């Protein structure tokens, strides 16, 4: 017999209402990312879920992806409804799906680029083994890939 999902389990969908917060709450973001990686984000608004959980919504300035985080470090993804654009009501509840934190971070930031690994990849690509550069967002918040000095000739 399959285990029944409880509210808050990975994959469950709950409704929530967006609210303009009084002041940004950086705590949830700072609890899941190193402080230097938080610099690329801007706080957008809050969402109150029907369960009473409050989400803080952060947008990454480069990738434009959103992180919806609870104070406990739980991640949620907005469930897009294609019919919503035709019947948009700003006060209507929206749906949010509980997702694994590491998957949400990867979706927003891209595959992590670690400097030592990136150096090995640059050497590998520069020696003609591939013409595809390394990509992603580094743990330092920079966009990965070749820079002018490391471009293969």
Per residue in 113-128, pLDDT (tens digit) is: 666 665 666 656 565 5
Please say whether the beta carbons of 17 and 91 come within 8 A: yes
- Pair (98, 119) in one structural domain: no
Residue 3 lies in a domain: no
- Pair (45, 104) in one structural domain: yes
Residue 41 lies in a domain: yes
Which residues form the domain of 152?
Answer: 111-153
- Pair (44, 78) in one structural domain: yes
- Pair (67, 77) in one structural domain: yes
3-state secondary structure of 90: coil
- Pair (80, 45) in one structural domain: yes
- Pair (86, 70) in one structural domain: yes
Q: What share of the chain is helix, strand, coil (3-state, %, to 5)?
A: 20, 30, 50
Residue 2 lies in a domain: no
Percent of the chain at pLDDT > 90 equals 34
DSSP strands (E only) in the chain: 13-19, 41-49, 54-60, 66-70, 75-79, 94-99, 112-113, 137-138
Residue 58 lies in a domain: yes
Residue 126 lies in a domain: yes
Q: How many domains does the chain have?
A: 2
pTM of the model: 0.66
**Which residue do the tokens 């609870």 mark?**
70
Domain's final residue, options 77, 93, 109: 109
- CA-to-CA dists, residue 95 to 5, 34, 75, 84, angstroms: 16, 29, 13, 11
Q: Is pLDDT at 150 greater than 60 in this prediction?
A: no
Residue 46 lies in a domain: yes
Instruction: Spell out the residues 6+ positions from residue 90 whose beta carbon is closer than 8 angstroms to its own.
Output: 18
Relative to beta strand 13-19, strand 41-49 is antiparallel
- Pair (99, 145) in one structural domain: no
Residue 28 lies in a domain: yes
- Pair (72, 123) in one structural domain: no
3-state secondary structure of 2: coil
Alpha carbon distance 71, 75 (integer Å) = 10
Per residue in 53-96, pLDDT (tens digit) is: 999 999 998 889 999 999 999 999 998 877 666 666 667 788 99
């Amino acid at each position: 017999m399959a285990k029944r999902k409880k509210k808050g389990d990975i994959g469950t969908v709950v409704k929530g209402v967006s609210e303009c917060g009084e002041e940004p709450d950086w705590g949830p973001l700072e609890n899941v990312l190193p402080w230097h990686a938080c610099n690329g984000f801007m706080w957008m608004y809050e969402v109150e879920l029907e369960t009473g959980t409050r989400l803080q919504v952060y947008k990454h300035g480069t990738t434009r992806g959103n992180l919806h985080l609870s104070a406990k470090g739980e991640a949620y993804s907005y469930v897009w409804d294609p019919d919503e654009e035709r019947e948009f009501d700003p006060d209507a509840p929206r749906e949010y799906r509980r997702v694994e934190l590491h998957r949400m971070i990867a979706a927003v930031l891209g595959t992590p680029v670690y400097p030592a690994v990136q150096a090995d990849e640059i050497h590998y690509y520069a020696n003609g083994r591939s013409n595809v550069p390394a990509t992603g967002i580094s743990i330092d918040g920079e966009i990965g890939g070749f820079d002018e000095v490391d471009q293969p000739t």
